[in-house]
Amino acid sequence: MTEPSYSLPTIRLKPKSNARAIRHGAPWVYDNELVTDRRTKAIAPGTIARLEDAEQNFLALVAVNPNSRIFARVLDRDEAGVIDAAWFRAKLATALAHRETLFEAPFYRLVHAEADGLPGVVIDRFGDTCVVQPNAAWADVLIEPLAEALREVTGVTTVVMNGTGRARGLEGLEEKTEILSGKVDEPIPVPMNGATYMADLMGGQKTGLFYDQRPNHAFAQRLVAGKKVLDVFSHVGGFALASLAGGAASALSVDSSAAALDLAEKGADAMGKSAVFSTRKGDAFDVMAALAEEGETFDVVICDPPAFAPSKPALEKGLRAYERVARMAAPLVREGGYLGLCSCSHAADLEKFRTACNRGIGRGVGHLGRSAQLIHTGFAGADHPLMPQLAESGYLKALFYRILP
């Protein structure tokens, strides 16, 4: 825990840095915005410090990591603030109140990083278990008091730390996954939109399940009654299981992970839908090409790939990949059917993603004399709030098209 702010180390903005942005809510300070000397560079990653403007006026209490381009993350704008157990409890209680307003059952994203006042921290809740992703050095240092406050505020018995992923690498943090309290014996069944998903909290992707697609699953359910559905990049069943819960006649899940598809099959079995659910393991592009060769078509095709453009340097390559997905998926949709295309890339904004998809659809079915209409644009759910000053928090986009004759 930290001491009163007057005893903390101090870092200072350069004279030409934008102090006003910090005062108006910007959550990050980059290394090139600060006066960095031998003393500041020697501050241990995860240390809480005072941030001042060039005139030595207090701006915020921040978490410092000299190993990251994001040198400081804003924690509190109160100079008298103390980052202690009570501070954690207050942040978590505020986050919990919002989720309990939204959901009857305790299955949701509980903390969405900066937007919930815990920068770099993601917490997903699975009933009596929470999975914490401490993607910033300060949260790694304070993981034990954070976990203790989490148990006190929510009443969960099991807390898992999932310290994997690209974000931790950017912070210079090691990868590790461990159970901080309680136990995890097997995948946890998660009810969502009438479907049942099996979440592997110890060996699955991210925290074990993607709650962000919940509203897009719900929209897709309005399109699928009595229909044949293809779910590409399915993970543990994603849109396929949601479609079956929405009355689809059949659903096929495609993914490169045998473990993910096994969990999808277990979810379908738990729903009593095994007879109308099937899987196909393989590279998504290869499988889509094979389906086209086989003459297969579907009433609804939905593609939810991984982040092809996780950073600005990867943007152009990522947009080409999204275009390729759309080009290969569109011909698999029957005339009058629906195509859903998703992106979870921070670097690809909505306009760029939509342009790539439109181009891909045109190249995929334009030569057949067919066209498309964009019928719906979806985003992450309300348990994934956006921070207005942080464009990266609006990462998820879902475009739904109708493929016309």
Assigned token pair, 241: 């299981």
Taking the C-alpha atoms of residue 338 and residue 182, their distance in angstroms, rounded to an integer, is 44
pLDDT(310) > 70 = yes
Is 120 in contact with 97 (CB distance < 8 Å)? no
Assess contact for 159 and 182: CB atoms under 8 A: yes
Whether residue 43 is predicted with pLDDT greater than 60 in this model: the reply is yes
Give every strand in the sheet of 28-30, ordered side by side: 10-12, 47-52, 58-64, 70-76, 28-30
More confident residue, 204 or 138: 138
What is the mean predicted confidence (pLDDT) over 229-238?
97
pLDDT, residue 208, reads 85
- Whether the pLDDT of residue 166 is over 90: the answer is no
Catalytic residue IDs: 344
Q: What is the mean pLDDT of residues 59-68?
A: 96
pLDDT, residue 5, reads 58
Question: pLDDT, tens digit, for every residue of 268-284?
Answer: 999 999 999 999 999 99
Angle in degrees, 0-180, between the axes of helices 284-293 and 315-329, rounded to the nearest 10: 20
CB-based contact 364:396 (threshold 8 Å) = no
Average pLDDT of 221-246?
98
Question: According to the model, what pLDDT value does residue 78 have?
Answer: 95
Candidate from 24-38, 51-65, 147-161, 386-400 with smallest mean pLDDT:
386-400
Indicate if the pLDDT at residue 336 is higher than 90. yes
The yes-or-no verdict on residue 95 having pLDDT over 60 is yes
pLDDT, residue 392, reads: 63
Reported confidence tier of residue 402, pLDDT bands at 50, 70, 90: very high
CA–CA dist 112, 124 (Å, integer): 9
% of the chain exceeding 70 in pLDDT = 98
Res 151 pLDDT > 90 = yes
DSSP run (H or E) holding 88: helix 85-102
Q: What is the mean pLDDT of residues 363-380?
A: 95
Residue 250's SS3 state is strand
Residue 6 has pLDDT above 70, yes or no: no
Average pLDDT taken over every residue of the chain: 95
**Section 323-350 average pLDDT:** 96
Q: How confident is the model at residue 22 (pLDDT cuts 50, 70, 90)?
A: very high
Summarised one tens digit per residue, pLDDT across range 98-127 is: 999 999 999 999 999 999 999 999 999 999
Distance CA(394)–CA(344), nearest Å, equals 9
Predicted local confidence at residue 232, as pLDDT: 98
> Strands across the sheet with 158-163, in order?
107-112, 121-126, 129-134, 158-163, 176-181
Predicted confidence at residue 4, as pLDDT, reads: 57
- The whole-number pLDDT of residue 237 equals 97
pLDDT at 167: 87
Q: Could you tell me which of 236, 231, 257, 220 has the C-alpha nearest to residue 126? A: 236
Q: Could you tell me which of 134, 141, 195, 185 has the C-alpha nearest to residue 162?
A: 134
Please compute the mean of the pLDDT values over residues 133-146 and round it to a whole number: 96
